[in-house]
Amino acid sequence: MAHSQTDVAVTAAVAVVACGAAASGAPTAVMIVLGIALFAAPGYLLSQLLLSARIAGLERVAVATGLALCVPILGGVLLNAAGVPLHRPAWLGLIAGLTLVGDVAVFVRRRVGRAAPFTWRPRRIRLAPWHAAAFAAAVLVAAGGLGLARVGAAIQPQPGFTQLWLSTRYAKDHIAQLGVTNDQGSATRYRLVLLRNSHVSETWNLTLADGQTWQRTVPFSANDKLAANLYRPPDLTHPYRYVATYSTTAPRS
């Protein structure tokens, strides 16, 4: 491989390795790195094909980024029109496929002398150590700001609550869904009373961990009127939450 085709080899390798990693179920951390590299690859190759070597720096990066973003936008529309489901295989096929096609095109153009060979001449940036340290500190401080914001969101006081539901979505099947979710922030004890035509049908004493859900299916007939009262012991007099199907009155205790 000539030195002038190094970028072609690298982008082709990214395409192949990303597809292989996806097929083998590589962990998310690996797919993040490979996925972002794969996203950038067709934009880079298209910029090699479309722009002259004189376009450099920021302008080339901006155009390459734009072209990279064009690929899923326009390619997705074409795939959708062709009836291809836009899931991981389709996206990988589109972007990796275009990358490999771009590799071939760039390779051939360079071989026939219609494109400049790849050169890697990074400008030597004379950055004094204390400048580098200041930039590094800036990155750390900004990351600290993001971290602080996330911590702030995590510790923001939120009032606890409990969800109670009695859903008759499948009423024609004469089945109702009765459920409770504890979002109080800690384990909580409940007493759930199911009323059928104003008479106690069933009672459950529940202890739910924070975030835990309890559910039951409740069969009922066309003439049944269901209601459920949820109590938080020790108060077993006033319902903490209540739900009812086709109720016409206020809660009963």
- Using CB under 8 A, which residues numbered 44 to 63 contact another protein? 49-52, 58-59, 61-63
Question: Rule CB under 8 A: is residue 85 a binding residue for another protein?
Answer: yes
Question: Rule CB under 8 A: is residue 220 a binding residue for another protein?
Answer: no
- Residue 83 CB, shortest distance to another protein, in Å, is 9
Range 11-28 burial, b when 16+ CB lie within 10 A, else e: bbebbebbbebbeeeeee
Q: Which is nearer to another protein, 107 or 165 (CB)?
A: 165
Name the nearest CA neighbour of 163 among 188, 189, 186, 183: 183
Note whether 78 and 97 are within 8 A (CB): no
**Residues of span 155-174 touching another protein by CB under 8 A:** 155-159, 161-169
Cα gap 97→90, rounded to integer Å: 10
- Residue 107 CB, shortest distance to another protein, in Å, is 18
Interface mask (CB under 8 A) for another protein, residues 107-146, using x and -?
A: -----------------------xxx-xx-xxxxxx-xxx
Question: Rule CB under 8 A: is residue 14 a binding residue for another protein?
Answer: no
Question: Rule CB under 8 A: is residue 13 a binding residue for another protein?
Answer: no
Q: Which helix or strand (DSSP H or E) is residue 207 part of?
A: strand 199-208
Interface residue with another protein, options 95, 98, 194, 208 (CB under 8 A): 95
Cα gap 134→220, rounded to integer Å: 70
Cα gap 172→150, rounded to integer Å: 46
Interface residue with another protein, options 4, 177, 201, 212 (CB under 8 A): 177
Question: Rule CB under 8 A: is residue 202 a binding residue for another protein?
Answer: no
Note whether 215 and 175 are within 8 A (CB): no
